[in-house]
Every structure is written in C-alpha cells, then in structure tokens.
C-alpha cells in the first residue's frame, strides 16, 4: 500500500452524483453549488489527515446535459462520452474551487481522465446506469418513446438508463500519481471517467457512463491506496433497507457481504466496489457525507475488510 513522503495514508473518496444534486432538487447551478460546498467542507477535513483523490459521480448532471443537447435540434446530439467530459469539467471546477477555498494552503487539480473499456461490453445492450432527473411513470414512458430511451424504475420514480461499461484501465494514472506526489488534492475519474476503447488509430470514445464506484476501486488498486471511502446518502449498508426490520452492517468481511443482494442501480455497485477493494487487501467504507471522518475512524458507517472474515471452525 502507498503512503506519501509525509507518511500520510492515501484515501480514494467516491462522491455520488446524487450527493451533488439531490433527488428531486431543481437541477440549477445554485442547488449544485450549495451541495458542493457541503461536500467540500467534509472532504477538506479528510484532506488534513490523508492524501486524497476524489472521484465524483455525474448521473443527474450528464442526464441534464443530454436533455439540453436534445433541445438544440439543428445538429445531431453529442455522444455520451463527450457529455461525460463536459460534466467532469463542470463538477471538477466547482469542487476544486470550493476545496481551494477551504484549503488555501493546498493545490487542488481537476484532471479529465480517460478510462479504457471494452468496445463490446455487455452493458451496451443491457443498460443499467441511471442518469438525469426523475419522472413519474407516464412522463417517463412518453420520453422513452419520443427519444428512444430506455427507462427503468428508480424507487417510486422512473429514470433514464444508459450503458455502463466495466472500467479496465485508467489511461491517465501516471498524471494522477505525479499530482499526488506533489502534495496536491486531486479530482480525477469524474463521472466514472471518459469511456474509450482501443481501435486501429489508438482510442475512440464509447457511448456510456461508467459507474464511479467501480472506477474509484480500480483507481485505489492502481494507486495502491490504503483506503476507499464511498460517500452516499445512506449512513451505512443496510439489509432490508426501508423495512421495519432493516439492519445496518457495520464491520463485515467481503465474503459475507457477497452473500446478500442489493439493487443494481444504486447500492449494488457500491457493494461490488468495496468487496473488490477489500479482497485486494485494502480497507473499504460506505457511509454518509457528513460523517466522513467518523466513517474512516470506524465509528459509524460500514467497513469492509479481510480482518472481519469469519474464521472457519
């Protein structure tokens, strides 16, 4: 595992797009900025104790850009990889500015990051990644028919789903390492990064939005980070979420966590991510944004580690 010249541990922080634009919020700049200020305050506290790389989601934002894209019908719509790059720049700028305001002694850099995926990834024919705003069923079905979108139920609402290819390699990893070694707070792989695949001329963009939690895990592994922290709107991983018998999982081994089923469009990828990183030998966490330091201190949230694997009798 990796540590800086100041002996600080490295933590990769995955920040959900819904934490930056909360479900049901008007998708305005002002609302996003208010939420980003909350996120920046929490992450700034982490950055005082750790080397930090931030990976953020972009589901609501890239979906909004796609809607804005459709409104201008004089040119063909931009592909999702380009819209992803736009959202990565937008959110990265807002995060960097607010973090710099909280940490004037540190440099903060946003890096547009390309992620290699498979051109024939199965998700292309079976999209699961939620993007954009929520709709009631009638409006969702109407938009699906009008725009040839795939829509799926997201709780009590309906949302558009798009392909979410599995990340294979972070092309710009060396740049991230260089910035970290220079003592910077780095914002990278935003929105899951820009999906590209190999072609005869080098690389080309892929229509899709990569899951940011899976990319955060890949980044944490490639950086040999000690910790992976997934911040979300849930205070922990729960069994029977939303029911009277719901139960928070606090300290759990990856093999136990793999036994449970979680929704594919929300907690499922987060659980897959922490299981993967824990099996790699790191320590992985899922918890609430406003409890981030306490989650890392294992006072709340869910911690996943090989240390918690059951010992055979």
From the list 16, 17, 92, 282, the catalytic residue is 17
DSSP character for 158? E
From the list 57, 69, 253, 270, the catalytic residue is 270
Strand residue runs (E) in the chain: 10-15, 51-56, 108-111, 114-116, 129-135, 150-154, 157-162, 169-170, 185-188, 194-199, 202-205, 227-232, 237-239, 247-249, 251-252, 283-288, 302-304
Owner of token pair 């002694």:
105
Those residues whose C-beta lies under 8 Å from the C-beta of residue 226, and which sit 6 or more positions away, are 1, 2, 3, 9, 10, 11, 282, 283
129 is annotated as an active-site residue: yes
* Residue among 161, 87, 155 at smallest CA distance from 125: 161
Q: Which two tokens stand for residue 293?
A: 């330091």
270 is annotated as an active-site residue: yes
From the list 16, 59, 192, 212, the catalytic residue is 212
Q: Which two tokens stand for residue 183?
A: 């003592």
212 is annotated as an active-site residue: yes
282 is annotated as an active-site residue: no
From the list 63, 69, 92, 129, the catalytic residue is 129
Tell me the HSE value of 112 on the side-chain side, using a 13 A CA sphere.
Answer: 13
146 is annotated as an active-site residue: no
From the list 2, 8, 18, 31, the catalytic residue is 18
Active-site residues, by number, are 17-18, 129, 212, 270
């Amino acid at each position: 595992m990796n540590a800086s010249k100041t002996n600080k541990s490295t933590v990769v922080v995955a920040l959900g797009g819904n934490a930056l634009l909360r479900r049901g919020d008007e998708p305005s700049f002002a609302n996003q900025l208010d939420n980003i200020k909350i996120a920046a305050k929490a992450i700034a506290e982490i950055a005082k104790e750790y080397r930090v790389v931030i990976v953020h989601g972009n589901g609501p934002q890239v979906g909004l850009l796609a809607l804005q894209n459709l409104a201008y019908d004089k040119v063909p719509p931009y592909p999702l990889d380009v819209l992803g790059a736009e959202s990565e720049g937008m959110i990265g700028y807002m995060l960097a500015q607010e973090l710099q305001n909280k940490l004037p002694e540190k440099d903060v850099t946003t890096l547009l990051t390309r992620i290699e995926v498979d051109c024939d990834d199965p998700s292309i024919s079976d999209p699961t990644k939620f993007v954009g705003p929520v709709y009631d069923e009638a409006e969702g079905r109407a938009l699906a028919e009008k725009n040839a979108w795939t829509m799926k139920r997201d709780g009590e609402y309906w949302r558009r789903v798009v392909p979410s290819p599995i990340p294979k390699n972070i092309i710009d990893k060396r740049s991230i390492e260089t910035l970290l070694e220079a003592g910077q707070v780095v914002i990278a792989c935003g929105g899951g990064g820009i999906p590209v695949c190999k072609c005869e001329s080098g690389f080309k963009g892929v229509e899709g939005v990569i899951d940011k939690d899976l990319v955060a895990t890949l980044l944490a592994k490639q950086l040999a980070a000690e910790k992976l922290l997934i911040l979300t709107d849930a205070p922990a991983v729960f069994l029977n979420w939303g029911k009277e018998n719901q139960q928070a999982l606090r300290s759990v081994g990856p093999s136990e966590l793999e036994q449970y089923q979680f929704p594919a469009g929300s907690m499922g990828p987060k659980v897959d991510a922490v299981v993967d990183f824990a099996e790699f030998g790191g320590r992985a966490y899922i918890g609430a944004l406003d409890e981030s330091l306490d989650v890392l201190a294992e006072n709340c949230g869910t911690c996943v580690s090989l240390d918690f694997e059951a010992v055979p009798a």
